[in-house]
Structure 1
Amino acid sequence: MRYAVALIVCLLGAGCGKQAAPPSGQGGAATVAADAPWQPVRFFADGQPEDLAEWNVLRVAGGRLQLNADVLPYDLNTPLFSDYAHKLRTVWMPKGESAGYDPEQAFDFPVGTVLSKTFYYPRGQGDAVLRSTDEGADLRGGGLELSKVRLVETRLLLRRKDGWVALPYVWNSEQTRAKLMRGGELISLELVGADGKRENADYQVPDQNQCAGCHGTDMKTKALHPLGPKARHLNRDVAYADGVANQIARWSQVGYLRGAPQPQAAPRDANWRDANAPLEARARAYLDINCGHCHSPKGPGNTSGLWLDAATQEPMRLGRCKLPIAAGKGTGDRRHDVVPGKPDESILTFRMLSDDPSVMMPELGRSVVHEEGVQLIRDWIAAQQGACG
């Protein structure tokens, strides 16, 4: 099965060949020859390696950010918004290990799993980056082409014996290495839209404690959990070099997933940008990935009474005519979280439109307004019928 994983990633152009150590003295993901051999992925059962390259998950070679041969890229139906950053997501598991399928929660990953998420932007002119929608990483040329992107950070989520651990690595300006930044980092960016509009973004690399703000999805246990690799997010087709395949089927095929049903029997979130999908499904998928990990019966936002996860169906829990609980300034002098047919009178859209840290939602992961996402939720509210008493 592990050979199959290596073959698939090789076909994607993300790394093939005999494996050996990168040149000594080159920390981070220091540049190496495009055809240089790899060492296998290395899992550290404890400790916090200072350089991303010590894990042997990614490297810079031949002008590209490449994936090791046993590292499988994946994508989500609807991704989390992070100041318009694009993301390259990967998964790796130890030889002979696989994740247990779950229809609702994150898969049951084995000890030794390494999940990575690299945040990057398409390059604009000068130091600017493009403000554009994340369409998924294009690895067909053998990895991310560094002349066309600006790497910002790579986050690792590691399944150790005692639970999940998050490590944030920040890329240097030369894009040759990524260094562990336990205290996080604030990175100033200039975003340029297709219409030429320019906007400054204070991109926040989270510190290790802030990672729990999103990944600590259960207030009782306080334990970290993956957010993206769930059946409803992964159940989609992607274009591999050997043809289009469903991700759940491919993970099962290569031995990274056990117990999964056929894709048509698994849950599936909508693509929030798919105009052919029902508006309700698109809006709920967007709220699920961006808000549901916190606003859920078990999450940090459970006391608000506003639950936006995929499982919640009760209209009032979804905000319909619901009075806020201790929102204070965050209400914007509006009475209800969602007022059917009236997005301008709804607290939900008010907080999504704000960039005030004391008001905005989500609280973490953005410094600018996701205009397209706000429009989707506005349309969803506008389409609702009824009135609040």
Structure 2
Amino acid sequence: MRLRGFALLALMSLFSACKGEDVGVHFFAEGQPKALSEWRVLKVDGGRLSLNEGVVPYDLNTPLFSDYAHKLRTIWMPKGKSASYAAQNSFAFPVGTIISKTFYYPLPGDGQWDGKSVARIAANNDLQGESLDLSKVRLIETRLLVRREAGWEAMPYVWNEAQTEATLRRAGELISLELVDSDGGREVANYQVPDQNQCASCHATDNKTRALHPIGPKARNLNRDFAYAAGNENQLAHLSRVGYLVGAPAPERAPRNADWQNAAHEKLEDRARAYLDVNCGHCHSPTGPAITSGMWLDASITDRLKLGFCKQPVAAGKGTGNRLYDIAPGQADASVLMFRMDSDDPSVMMPELGRSVVHREGVELIRQWIDAQKGACDT
């Protein structure tokens, strides 16, 4: 009887241990799991998409535009591991880090999914207690950026029709959607889930090494409050408090990008530069893939010629729209930058990837910024 009791106790302990492993995040040091659920970063339960234990949500002061999609961003690290703070570049994340970004849309009108219609609503924090109500949104894809021994690796997962699972799509996928305005106006959006090679177009921020790196998790993007389940807290302070970040200064001493939509409290110059930094600066930089263009738009650039003022375009071809300068001060409609942002022609538009429709509000912001600039290129 005593042996039987010991055996039963051992079996129960083993079951408890396995059960504990099953509910925690699972980092795969190699391979590419076919189902997103295998990573156990996100959970679908009771009609909600929620975060697993230790998964921390975050947001950016000014986010990248992606056909009006909203995004749930998260970070997870192995127990006892932390990222090292950097003032300008992405943080140095440890091996084992999983960064996720789930793209989704609010549903229009009565909230019934008809197979294509989604609401065109400015992105905001739709989380309720750090979870999403799936009766109000449509999940499209989740991208993972995983830090392995050899470096970062990107994997795109596409959600199924039932919204219960996302499956790896290494070759990407084209999803036909229809953006619905509040007044009933409609626009077709050919939403492109990138293939794994296309991920490098943005995340290979150093043109020499071509190694992938995170883009969003930088001090200037994260230095803002977030509505966590336990209450509002500055994200840099929160990541430091939970042990995910070391070396960070007090938030008031860290750089901060403006909120591009906050016209009431942020300067036009700051909002425009933040928008260009996050949407263009990872490519148009002194080290990025567009280095040969000579037009650098990341936040550190102050030289007006390098920013594109009165600079003639380099090898842009059809993309110039017969404009003479990348940015003509005071003349948005005479600027190559404006022409390319306001186009949905794949041979003209900028950014080249990540959108199929024009970001109307973003275009208007940059138009106002260029029109407000002083000077003339002929002087």
TM-score normalised by structure 1 residue count: 0.90
Match of 2:242 among 254, 263, 268: 254
The offset of 1:195, in angstroms, is: 2.3
Amino acid at match of 1:50: K
| Cα displacement (A) at 1:240 | 2.2
How far apart in 1 are the matches of 2:366 and 2:198? 26
How far apart, in 1, do the equivalents of 2:169 and 2:319 lie?
A: 31
Distance 1:72 1:370 in 2: 29
Post-superposition Cα deviations, 1:250-283, rounded to whole Å, max 9, x if no partner, equal 0000000000000001000000001120100000
Match for 1:193 among 173, 181, 190? 181
Q: Which residue of 2 aligns with 1:31?
A: none
Residue in structure 1 matched with residue 196 of structure 2 by the alignment = 208
- Give the structure with higher Rg (CA): 2
Question: 2:305 — aligned with what?
Answer: 316
Q: What amino acid is the match of 2:55?
A: V
From 25, 48, 67, the equivalent of 2:51 is 67
Pairing partner for 2:37 from 53, 61, 66? 53
Displacement, 1:132?
Answer: 1.1
How far 1:20 sits from its partner (Å)? 6.5
Alignment partner of 1:184 out of 172, 177, 193: 172
Give the Cα–Cα distance (whole angstroms) in 1 for the partners of residues 276 and 100 of structure 2: 23
- In structure 1, how many angstroms separate the alpha carbons of the residues matched to 2:268 and 2:18? 50
Give me the whole-angstrom Cα distance separating, in 2, the residues matched to 1:239 and 1:351. Answer: 36
1:384 to 2:368 alignment: no
Q: Kindly report which structure 2 residues correspond to 1:243-322, keeping only aligned pairs within 5 A, or say none.
A: 243-275=231-263, 276-322=265-311
The residue aligned with 1:234 is 222
| Aligned residues between the structures | 357
In the alignment, is residue 88 of structure 1 matched against residue 88 of structure 2? no
Structure 1 moving runs of 4+ over 3 Å: 18-22
C-alpha displacement of 1:75: 0.5
Distance 1:44 1:165 in 2: 11
> Does the alignment pair 1:159 with 2:143?
no
Give the match's secondary structure for 1:168: strand
Code of the residue aligned with 2:351 in structure 1: it is P
Q: Report the equivalent of 2:326.
A: 337
Measured after TM superposition, the shift of residue 238 of structure 1 is 1.5
One-letter amino acid of the counterpart of residue 258, structure 1: V
Please say if residues 19 and 40 of structure 1, whose CA atoms lie closer than 8 Å, have aligned partners that are also in contact.
Answer: no
Q: CA deviation at 1:21?
A: 5.3
- Residues 133-188 of structure 1, C-alpha deviation per residue, up to 9 Å, x if partnerless? 11123132x51111100000000000000000000000001101100000000000
- CA distance in 2 between partners of 1:245 and 1:303 (Å): 41
Match of 2:89 in 1: 105
Q: For residue 130 of structure 1, what is the aligned residue in structure 2?
A: 119
Distance 2:146 2:164 in 1: 23
Using the aligned pairs only, state the percent identity.
Answer: 65
Separation in structure 2 between the aligned mates of residue 372 and residue 20 of structure 1, nearest angstrom: 50
Distance 1:368 1:143 in 2: 28
Measure, in 2, the Cα distance between the counterparts of 1:199 and 1:184: 22
- Deviation per CA, 1:103-155: give whole Å up to 9, x if none: 00000000000000000000124341001111123132x51111100000000
Instruction: Please tell me the root mean square deviation across aligned C-alpha atoms, in Å.
Output: 1.4
- SS for the counterpart of 1:268 is coil
Give, in angstroms, the shift of residue 194 of structure 1: 1.6
- What amino acid is the match of 2:330? G
Unaligned runs of 5+ in 1: 1-17, 23-36
SS in 1 for 2:348: coil
Distance 1:121 1:383 in 2: 34
Equivalent-residue separation in structure 2 for 1:240 and 1:166 (angstroms): 27
TM-fit CA distance, 1:19: 9.1
